[in-house]
């Protein structure tokens, strides 16, 4: 038969191994939780950036729609004016220049290019 003096160290050893396993499991869970929080934070930042870009794109599309409406209404007004004054050309040169400038501006907006040219002396990545 096993004596009490022999059982105490064996029981203490088993208890120490159990406690060590429990602590290791807690540390592992803590590490996993940190990783999950970091991933969720990264996802939230991506969602925030995406929503900002979506808002910007929506504003740009609204600007383009307004531009198209302006061009259409100007063209209609020019056509109505030409009916009254038949000796003038259908579209004035100033209108064509304005249309081309506005079209280039909105093409730059949609493509994400700078509104002004970038100087040549700027270091490129």
Provide DSSP, 54-96: HHHHHHHHHHHHHHHHHHHHHHHHHHHHHHH-TTS-SS-HHHH
> Is residue 73 a part of any domain in this protein?
yes
Residue 58, domain extent: 11-111
> Is residue 120 a part of any domain in this protein?
no
At 93, the pLDDT band (50, 70, 90 cuts) reads confident
> Is residue 117 a part of any domain in this protein?
no
C-alpha closest to that of 106 among 55, 46, 62, 51:
62
> Is residue 31 a part of any domain in this protein?
yes
Cα separation, 7 vs 62, whole angstroms: 81
Per-residue pLDDT reduced to its tens digit, 57-77 = 888 888 888 877 777 776 666
Threshold 0.75, pTM exceeds: no
pLDDT of residue 100: 81
> Is residue 2 a part of any domain in this protein?
no
Tokens 């600007």 found at:
63
> Is residue 118 a part of any domain in this protein?
no
Instruction: Report the domain count for the chain.
Output: 1
> Is residue 97 a part of any domain in this protein?
yes
Mean pLDDT of the region 109-116: 65
Cα separation, 88 vs 83, whole angstroms: 9
């Amino acid at each position: 038969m096993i004596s009490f003096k022999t059982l105490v160290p064996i029981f203490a050893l088993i208890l120490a191994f159990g406690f060590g396993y429990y602590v290791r499991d807690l540390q592992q869970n803590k590490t996993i939780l940190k990783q999950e929080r970091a991933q969720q934070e990264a996802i939230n930042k991506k969602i925030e950036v995406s929503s900002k870009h979506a808002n910007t794109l929506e504003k740009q599309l609204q600007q383009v729609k307004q531009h198209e409406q302006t061009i259409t209404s100007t063209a209609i007004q020019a056509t109505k004016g030409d009916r009254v004054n038949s000796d003038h050309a259908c579209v004035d040169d100033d209108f064509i220049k304005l249309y081309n400038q506005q079209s280039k501006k909105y093409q730059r907006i949609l493509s994400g290019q700078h509104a002004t040219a970038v100087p040549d002396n700027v270091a490129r990545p």
